[in-house]
């Protein structure tokens, strides 16, 4: 997995950059806002309720980047360094051939194609730069926006698979067409 130097990604409208401590307020919002987290069930130990916990989370994701465990990008609009969301590749298999994608976006930026643009570029990075074979996404069965985003980007619902930790989740996957 290549994460050093950090793989900043520039798209038509976005810069996907490393999350840093100055992003603590937005991270707190993204991990605690009721709208953003409507379909996410986190264990109590994973909840972010304070700026101190947001800073701990930022430290953890950056440590995971340094240790080649996962890569989390902060999503910003070109010309504005303020974080509006995050997207990550995480939960890699031991051989680094499979991963999971996760994402969150401030509600003000929903329905503008921003997450679609970010996801397309993360898939490209994962398949082309990291040589991942398969990327999975777990999403709540009632989260129509997320399901539509995944389908639009070539993900297929794995009807025969169940999320052992959350009965409300559906599992989608996309395979690298370069394999």
pLDDT digits (tens, 9 = 90+) for 59-103: 999 999 999 999 999 999 999 999 999 999 999 999 999 999 999
- pLDDT category of residue 33 using cuts at 50, 70 and 90: confident
132-147 average pLDDT score: 97
106-110 average pLDDT score: 96
Residue 59's CB is within 10 A of a number of other CB atoms, namely 11
- Residue 103's pLDDT is 97
Q: Is 38 inside any structural domain?
A: yes
- Residue 54's pLDDT is 96
The answer for residues whose C-beta is within 8 angstroms of residue 106's C-beta and 6 or more apart is 26, 29, 30, 33, 36, 84, 85
Cis peptide leading into 79, omega within 30 of 0?
no
- Residue 50's pLDDT is 94
Is the pTM above the cut of 0.85?
yes
- Residue 3's pLDDT is 59
Write the CATH number for 78.
3.40.630.30
Q: Is 90 inside any structural domain?
A: yes
Mean pLDDT of the chain: 93
Residue 45 has pLDDT above 80, yes or no: no
Q: Is 1 inside any structural domain?
A: no
Ranking 8-12, 23-27, 37-41, 145-149 by mean pLDDT, the lowest is: 37-41
Q: What is the pLDDT of residues 162-179, one digit of tens each?
A: 999 889 999 999 999 887
Q: Is 75 inside any structural domain?
A: yes
Structural domain range at position 19: 9-175
The answer for residues whose C-beta is within 8 angstroms of residue 107's C-beta and 6 or more apart is 33, 35, 36
| CA distance between the termini of the chain | 17
Q: What is the pLDDT of residues 6-16, one digit of tens each?
A: 999 999 999 99
More confident residue, 79 or 36: 79
Strand bridging mode 80-90 / 71-77: antiparallel
Q: Is 2 inside any structural domain?
A: no
133-153 average pLDDT score: 97
Q: Is 57 inside any structural domain?
A: yes
Closest CA to 115 of 139, 142, 141: 139
Total tally of structural domains belonging to the chain: 1
Separation between Cα atoms, residue 104 and residue 120, nearest integer Å: 15
Q: Is 4 inside any structural domain?
A: no
Torsion angle defined by CA atoms of residues 130, 109, 104 and 93, in that order, rounded to the nearest 10 degrees? -20
Closest CA to 85 of 51, 126, 118: 118
Whether 31 contacts 58, CB under 8 Å: no
In the Cβ-directed half-sphere of 29, how many Cα atoms lie within 13 Å?
Answer: 12
């Amino acid at each position: 997995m290549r994460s050093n130097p950090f793989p900043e990604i520039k798209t038509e409208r976005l810069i996907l950059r490393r999350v840093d401590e100055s992003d603590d307020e937005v991270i707190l919002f993204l991990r605690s806002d009721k709208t953003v987290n409507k379909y996410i069930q986190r264990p109590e130990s994973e909840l972010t309720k304070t700026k101190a916990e947001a800073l701990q989370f930022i430290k953890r994701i950056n440590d995971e980047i340094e240790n080649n465990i996962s890569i989390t990008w902060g999503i910003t609009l070109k010309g504005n360094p303020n974080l509006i969301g995050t997207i990550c590749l995480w939960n890699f298999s031991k051989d680094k051939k499979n991963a999971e994608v996760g994402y969150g976006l401030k509600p003000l930026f929903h329905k503008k194609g921003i997450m679609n643009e970010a996801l397309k570029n993360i898939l490209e990075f994962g398949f082309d730069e990291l040589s991942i074979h398969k990327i999975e996404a777990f999403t709540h069965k009632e989260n129509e926006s997320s399901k539509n985003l995944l389908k639009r980007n070539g993900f297929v619902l794995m009807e025969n698979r169940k999320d052992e930790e959350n009965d409300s989740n559906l599992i989608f996957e996309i395979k690298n067409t370069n394999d």
